[in-house]
């Protein structure tokens, strides 16, 4: 197989959650550039992602759905495959963060973040895996974890709990599904330029402290995740599963 063929996703259909902006949009474009058609799922319409995917010559389907309501996910997903179309790749990227001191953290902020970051990933993965098993698809599932899958963080109780959960769920799923030809891995981005980190980037002291700790000396961009998602999504990575790969400019090694 040629080097280009290792990452060839021609004929594949990928479902990417949180695809409207930031990391999700970048992951969708990386997969489209390798030949995959994209289903973008988000809480709002995503015309920019559509234009960018279609500019690469790939099909784009949009699903507007609020993942704070995991109860309707199975029905929503059934509608995506009722015409016989397959989903070969799932990217559980959608995520939200709420910041508050631990003693002031609200139950609403706990529930909303856990529902989006963890419960929806579980419910959607369950629906997708059942579909893959029914169709005999050697599927690929890639979850988006975080540095806070390894560390505790500050003032982000529900986010930290959810991302530890994502790492654990990734390993559990990998254990159960490997023999069925479905791999499950996770990418743990470092400090990235996204909407979720805007508050940190606007705080001069926190911004400086973070930059000083990152060996690469910069914040990450969504495109820094391209090779990781293409590796985990590719047909050639069938013997790699249960991994949580940090893409962090060296943060965890510091």
Q: What superfamily would CATH give domain 6-247? A: NAD(P)-binding Rossmann-like Domain (3.40.50.720)
Hey, is 186 helix, strand or coil? strand
For residue 133, the tally of other CB atoms under 10 A from its CB is 14
**What is the average per-residue pLDDT within 224-241?**
96
**C-alpha distances in Å from residue 104, one per residue of 109, 116, 144, 157:** 10, 21, 27, 10
Query: Residue ranges of the domains in the chain?
Result: 6-247
Residue 74's pLDDT is what? 94
Over the stretch 9-48, which tens digit does the pLDDT of each residue have? 999 999 999 999 999 999 999 999 999 999 999 999 999 9
207 is catalytic: no
- Which of 129, 111, 17, 109 has its CA nearest to residue 69? 111
Closest to 36 in 3D by CA, of 92, 87, 2: 87
Query: Active-site residue among 159, 191, 207, 239?
Result: 159
pLDDT digits (tens, 9 = 90+) for 199-210: 888 888 888 999
């Amino acid at each position: 197989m040629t080097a280009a063929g290792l990452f060839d996703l021609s004929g594949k259909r990928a479902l990417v959650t949180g695809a409207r902006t930031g990391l999700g949009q970048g992951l969708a474009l990386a997969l489209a550039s390798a030949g995959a058609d994209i289903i973008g799922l988000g809480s709002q319409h995503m015309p920019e992602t559509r234009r960018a995917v279609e500019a690469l010559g790939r099909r784009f389907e949009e699903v507007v759905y609020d993942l704070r309501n995991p109860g309707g996910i199975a029905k929503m997903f059934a509608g995506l495959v009722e015409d016989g179309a397959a989903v070969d790749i799932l990217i559980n990227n959608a995520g939200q963060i709420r910041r508050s001191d631990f003693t002031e953290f609200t139950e609403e902020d706990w529930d909303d973040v856990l529902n989006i970051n963890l419960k929806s990933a579980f419910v959607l993965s369950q629906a997708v895996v059942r579909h893959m098993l029914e169709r005999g698809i050697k599927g690929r599932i890639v979850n988006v974890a975080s540095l806070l899958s390894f560390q505790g963080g500050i003032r982000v109780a529900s986010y930290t709990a959810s991302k530890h959960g994502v790492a654990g769920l990734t390993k559990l799923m990998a254990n159960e599904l490997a023999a069925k030809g479905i791999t499950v891995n996770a990418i743990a981005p470092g400090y990235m330029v996204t909407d979720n980190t805007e508050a940190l980037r606007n705080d001069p002291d926190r911004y400086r402290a973070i930059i000083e700790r990152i060996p690469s000396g910069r914040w990450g961009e969504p495109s820094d995740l391209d090779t990781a998602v293409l590796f985990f999504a590719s047909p050639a990575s069938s013997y790699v599963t249960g991994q949580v790969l940090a893409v962090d400019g060296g943060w965890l090694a510091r």
